[in-house]
Amino acid sequence: GEDVEQSLFLSVREGDSSVINCTYTDSSSTYLYWYKQEPGAGLQLLTYIFSNMDMKQDQRLTVLLNKKDKHLSLRIADTQTGDSAIYFCAVSNQAGTALIFGKGTTLSVSS
Amino acid sequence: DVKVTQSSRYLVKRTGEKVFLECVQDMDHENMFWYRQDPGLGLRLIYFSYDVKMKEKGDIPEGYSVSREKKERFSLILESASTNQTSMYLCAISTLAGPDEQFFGPGTRLTVL
């Protein structure tokens, strides 16, 4: 079945760049997503990329998509302590009826 | 602003009890979802619904049922709660148009003793 994989933890220092990586098995998703979950809260959409694009930039966030390798990454420039959260990669299932989420990467930012 | 509310933030129940978790949306979105979130396992889809009285099983429907009598309300039911259903439960909604962005509620942390 469809699968989305991401590493579980990432630790960076304040001011550094963070790169969170994700690989997926099914390439039929029209959009690919990054969600952020802050402690004690539900998930919020952070950004998404259309599957025909290679890159999308939104202020400190850069999303890179390599369709050939089925690899999606999220880069956060100048990482702040407020960026500490769990980040989920998500793609649509084959039927287009639901999203499949990775297990989430916990980003820890130290000052 | 999209609003997805869940009936409780924290709930403690005993083994064997019937448990209702409610999710209400104010956006008139067609699709509604129930996930459970567990450490190291991420989000797993329990059930979803794309219309009133319609429901589809997700990846882990065993031990759960759902009800959608009105478009804005989607209920998750644990017929006989067990300790392995202790988890964070998240409700989400999405629309059929455009990117299938999902909007999430704040979650209900359920503890079954």
Contact assessment for residue A93 and residue A2, using Cβ atoms and an 8 Å cutoff: yes
Q: How far apart are CA B64 and CA B51, in angstroms?
A: 19
Binned at pLDDT 50, 70 and 90, residue B97 comes out as low
Output the six-digit token pair for A47. 């950004």
Per residue in A45-99, pLDDT (tens digit) is 999 999 999 999 999 999 999 999 999 999 999 999 999 999 999 998 877 778 8
For residue B61, what is the enclosing H or E element?
Answer: none
Q: How much is the pLDDT for A57?
A: 95
Distance from CA of A14 to the nearest CA of B (A): 25
| Spatial distance between the Cα atoms of B43 and A70, rounded to a whole number of angstroms | 21
Bridge partners of B48, per DSSP, are: B33, B56
Whole-angstrom Cα distance, residue B1 to residue A21?
Answer: 30
What are the two backbone dihedrals, phi and then psi, of residue B12, each rounded to the nearest 5 degrees?
Answer: -125, 125
**pLDDT exceeds 60 at position B99:** no
* Gap between the Cα atoms of B40 and A22, Å rounded: 15
Percent of chain A with pLDDT over 90: 75
Nearest-by-CA chain B residue for A7: B40
pLDDT band at residue B71 using 50, 70 and 90 as cut-offs:
very high
> Which of A30, A45, A98 shows the shortest C-beta gap to B33?
A98
Please give the Cα distance from B57 to B34 (Å, whole number).
Answer: 10
Q: What's residue B96's pLDDT?
A: 65
Interface A–B counts its CB contacts (< 8 A) at: 50
A chain contacts of residue B104, beta-carbon cutoff 8 Å: 42-44
Nearest to B102 among A40, A41, A99 (CB): A99
List the single residue in A40, A92, A98 with the smallest CB-CB distance to B58: A98
Mean pLDDT of A31-53: 91
A87 near B CB under 8 A: no
Q: Which of B64, B101, B69 is nearest to B80 (CA)?
A: B64
Which residues of chain B neighbour A96 with C-beta distances below 8 Å? 100
Structure tokens at A19: 């790169």
